[in-house]
Copies of this chain bind each other. A is one copy, B any other.
């Protein structure tokens, strides 16, 4: 075994250990005295998920020389719980009944408790981060952006103004901002200098943009079983990357659904979207060039490529 391969295997163990800490931190933070909040939170946490946001934070932290995987566990848990909160509320608004291969919280506990469980996950984030000082500025901004992105999306669908520009703004707010915060917090906790924090923030942002584009492609092409969540919601609701790619620049109106679906299946819309996601990851990878090569830097780059090459 080469020493490079050996140190990569060692890194994988470190990352797995760190992610196990994150899982524990998420369970602890949601261990409410109120049964339904604990049960519903643990239901969705136990379903797993890709954990791409905490992985991004962890790898950023390690790449910049961080070593205390216990200290990073809580912010990494916070960033994943923030995402989980938004997913629980999404499934109310979108009537999603399947999530991570399980019935959604909404489907099992009903709308009232799903709303409260999402709120509880938000407050769990707040509690987890309360003693982390100014890092809260990064996460709070991302939290606001996330809600703004979701709202902009619902508004655009309602007003039938789902253009490419609005699509890019939506995914920047609802997804890429939280990826950026994950990287920024990982970098800051590792004691990175401001130029490194900026570079890694850009890295996270671009990976987040790519992640959402691919997510939207998978929503169209993957079957529900593989995807583990209610699919085809985007098209049904007049949104997502395909609707945006077909709407033209600033045309102000999406085609009726049937026409869009026909276009998608015939045209090269999805290939174009996939290429755009890959372009974003290339740009992200370039940002890493300012850092000395190392196993965590390689793993960070690999994570970025995994985001565009995944099938679920």
Contacts and interface: CB of A to CB of B under 8 A. Distances in A.
B123 A147 contact: yes
B140 A127 contact: yes
Contacts of A35: 155
A37 B140 CA distance: 16
19 contacts: A34-B148, A34-B151, A34-B155, A36-B155, A37-B151, A89-B115, A89-B116, A92-B115, A113-B154, A118-B119, A119-B119, A120-B144, A120-B147, A122-B122, A122-B123, A124-B144, A126-B136, A127-B144, A131-B134
Nearest to A111: B93
A92 to B, nearest CB: 6
A265 B141 CA distance: 50
A168 to B, nearest CB: 15
A210 interface: no
A196 B148 CA distance: 40
A89 B143 contact: no
A61 B44 CA distance: 42
Contact of A37 (B36, B131, B148): B148
Contacts of A117: 151
B124 A131 contact: no
Interface string A89-118: 100110000000000000000011101111
Contact of A89 (B36, B119, B140, B152): B119
A130 interface: yes
Contacts of A221: none
A137 interface: yes
Contact of A136 (B92, B130, B155): B130
A93 B112 contact: yes
List 4 A-B pairs, minimum CB-CB distance, nearest first.
A130-B136, A126-B140, A123-B143, A123-B144
B119 A141 contact: no
Contacts of A134: 130-131
A126 B119 CA distance: 13
A293 interface: no
A75 to B, nearest CB: 13
A141 B116 CA distance: 16
A139 B131 CA distance: 12
